[in-house]
Amino acid sequence: MLVMLLLIIVAIDWIAFRFIDYKPVSIGIIVISVLLYALVLNFFRLPRRHFKGARDGRDVVSSVDGTVVALEEVYEDEYLHRDVIQLSVFMTVFNVHANWVPVAGEVRYVKHHSGRFMAANLPKSSTDNERSTIVIRTADGDDILVRQIAGAVARRIVTYVEQGEKVDLDDFIGFIKFGSRVDIFLPLDSEILVKLGDKTWGGETLVARLPQR
């Protein structure tokens, strides 16, 4: 996709420079196309990050770059079937759209759901939008559910992990192309370390600590 877009932009810029006599217009087209390509490159970056925390099995790290938009007690009815804390981080078009593993453990469940493409900052997007659900079981036996959610612009969710795979905090869980939001569902007795409106960095920001078992 990136190569094809680059070729299209180069072709458009060449035509603009070659056939538009009024140079400010042709130069303006070139500048806009370069900025557009830089924005798309930012979408598709997969920066390698290394979590610097305790790594004692209780760390919960943000899966994405973005802003905390939901932090509430809910009933999770797809897999966990119990009351949990939902921690949601919303990505804008300017954020890196790679998704990191939030907890170390074993992948127990992966399922993709078709759905709508409403704005991902709306509460119903967690259950109504196109989404993928991943459950990771920690060494202490906690099942942590992660949900990748598409939005009004996002039209494709990619999930890298597979059931039975061992994962760690530095691993990628997937990617949401032009993506929107990731929800993490945590035990009620977890220690939450962020609040609404906080900015997070995927793979780096400690957002919660699981209870001692």
* 180 belongs to the catalytic site: yes
Assess contact for 61 and 53: CB atoms under 8 A.
yes
Q: How many residues does the chain have?
A: 213
- For the record, the structure tokens of 184 come out as 């993490």
Q: What residue has token string 């059931």?
A: 163
DSSP string of 55-70? -SS-EEE-SSSEEEEE
- For the record, the structure tokens of 42 come out as 């930012």
Q: What is each CA distance from 145 to 6, 53, 149, 171, 194, in whole angstroms? A: 37, 21, 13, 16, 18
CA-atom Rg of the chain in angstroms: 20
Spot the catalytic one: 26, 33, 132, 180. 180
CB atoms within 10 A of CB 149: 28
Supply the residues annotated as catalytic. Answer: 180
